[in-house]
């Protein structure tokens, strides 16, 4: 039975969290299971179904339900279906299903335009004097992420002991990404080091051995709205934008090879990093200007 197999899969995955899987991966599969249960009740009026009844029509109807009833966008729908496909593949490999119900079904993600901050945006934000100490701290944490590429979950757990001396004798961040648990080694730029000096004697950081006084994600996002307004930035600031800014404005735009950027971001695949390179019209322009100069000389 489908739900029984899904439950057993998730039970084993939970036991492997921290060893083979990240906590967020497990949560995603739990969410996919919850969606599967609700779909079965909606479509068939049943709490479970024999896996032998899974076919192309089932996948097609599940897709429709995710989009029309659950209001999932295209990319979220594909993520849930990809998780569901893993369960289907297990059933095929175990001999429970003869024909793959996903045959002929394409899992295509929609290209997302990623918002980033420009060099001018960063300078404007750094120059603002905020009315409260807390606002200034959130600004500093956000800018630190712009100069290091750390995600919210990673900066929140980052300890002082994870700042070490690298191969070049300079200070680096040696950590692992919470999302993928892949290692991430990032040399600290002068702008990032300058921000850190402000928190060397911060009571919260000293008591908890944390690098910076990070609040809950919700509170940080509330402050970011105020910070954007006061900085004159007409963009919805999130920590995803900080990470994207590091990948583009800070590194790729300044000639850092994509392989190096990928390693610092802790990406498992270079394909993930290549999404950032697609939006760099400025870099394309700069590269073509160099080419024009070389052609003129010849």
Which of helix, strand or coil describes residue 109? coil
- CA 277 remoteness from chain centre: 16
Query: How sure is the predictor about 252, in pLDDT bands with cuts at 50, 70 and 90?
Result: confident
List, for residues 207-233, the tens digit of each pLDDT value: 888 888 888 888 998 899 989 999 999
What is the C-alpha separation between 48 and 225, in angstroms, rounded?
44
Q: Is 279's pLDDT higher than 60? A: no
Mean pLDDT of 62-73: 94
257: DSSP letter: -
Mean pLDDT score across all residues of the chain: 87
Say whether both 132 and 206 belong to one domain: yes
pLDDT at 259: 85
Cβ distance 265 to 273 under 8 Å?
A: yes
Query: How sure is the predictor about 137, in pLDDT bands with cuts at 50, 70 and 90?
Result: very high
Cβ distance 219 to 213 under 8 Å?
A: no
pLDDT at 28: 93
Query: How sure is the predictor about 107, in pLDDT bands with cuts at 50, 70 and 90?
Result: confident
Which of helix, strand or coil describes residue 215? coil
Higher pLDDT, 282 or 256: 256
Q: Residue 185: in which H helix or E strand, if any?
A: strand 183-187
What is the C-alpha separation between 10 and 2, in angstroms, rounded?
12
Place of tokens 């779909």: 39
Q: Is 115's pLDDT higher than 90? A: no
Question: What CATH number does residue 257 fall under?
Answer: 1.10.443.10
pLDDT at 249: 87
- Containing domain of residue 87, as a range? 2-93
The answer as to whether 112 is a domain residue is no
* Number of domains into which the chain is organized: 2
**What is the number of other CB atoms lying within 10 angstroms of the CB of residue 102?**
19
| Sheet architecture: strand order including 163-165 | 163-165, 171-176, 183-187
Say whether both 67 and 130 belong to one domain: no
2: Cα within 13 Å, side-chain hemisphere: 25
pLDDT at 24: 81
The answer as to whether 297 is a domain residue is no
């Amino acid at each position: 039975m489908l739900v029984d197999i899904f439950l057993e899969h998730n039970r084993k995955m939970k036991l492997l969290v921290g060893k083979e899987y990240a906590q967020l991966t497990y949560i995603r599969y739990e969410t996919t299971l919850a969606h599967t249960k609700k779909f079965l009740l909606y479509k068939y009026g049943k709490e479970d179904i024999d896996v032998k009844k899974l076919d192309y029509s089932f996948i097609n109807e599940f897709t429709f339900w995710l989009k029309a009833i659950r209001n999932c966008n295209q990319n979220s729908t594909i993520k849930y279906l990809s998780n569901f496909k893993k369960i289907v593949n297990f059933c095929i490999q175990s001999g429970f299903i003869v024909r793959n119900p996903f045959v002929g079904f394409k899992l295509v993600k929609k290209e997302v335009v990623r918002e980033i901050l420009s060099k001018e945006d960063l300078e404007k934000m750094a120059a603002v004097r905020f009315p409260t100490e807390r606002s200034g701290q959130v600004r500093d944490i956000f800018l630190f992420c712009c100069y290091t590429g750390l995600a919210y979950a990673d900066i929140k757990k980052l300890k002082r002991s994870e700042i070490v001396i690298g191969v070049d004798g300079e200070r680096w961040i040696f950590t692992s990404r919470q999302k993928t648990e892949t290692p991430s080694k990032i040399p600290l730029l002068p702008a990032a080091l300058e921000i850190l000096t402000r928190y060397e004697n911060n009571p919260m950081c000293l008591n908890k051995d944390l690098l910076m006084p990070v609040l809950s994600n919700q509170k940080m996002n509330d402050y970011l709205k105020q910070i954007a307004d006061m900085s004159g930035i007409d963009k919805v600031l999130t920590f995803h934008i900080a990470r994207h800014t590091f990948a583009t404005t800070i590194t790729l735009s300044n000639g850092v090879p994509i392989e190096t950027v990928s390693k610092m971001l802790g990406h498992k695949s270079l394909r993930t990093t290549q999404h950032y390179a697609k939006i760099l019209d400025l870099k394309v322009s700069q590269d073509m200007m160099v080419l024009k100069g070389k052609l003129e000389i010849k």
